[in-house]
Amino acid sequence: MTKEEEIADLESQLTGDMFKDMDIKDEIHRLKLECVGGSCSIDDLGCEACGS
């Protein structure tokens, strides 16, 4: 399974409940970071995966 397929599978599991979805969203974010080969931290100018 590709990372894009894993992300799509995880996104299909989201419920809309912030607390229930927290771990899933964290995993999606981690996979997106792997796809772009970037990092995300409070010191970065922005996150390459989430666009912030």
Task: Give the separation between CA 22 and CA 34, rounded to whole angstroms.
Answer: 19
Q: Write down the pTM of the prediction.
A: 0.73
pLDDT value at residue 50:
61
pLDDT in tens, 1-52: 898 999 999 999 999 999 999 999 999 988 988 887 766 665 555 665 666 5
pLDDT value at residue 12:
97
pLDDT value at residue 27:
93
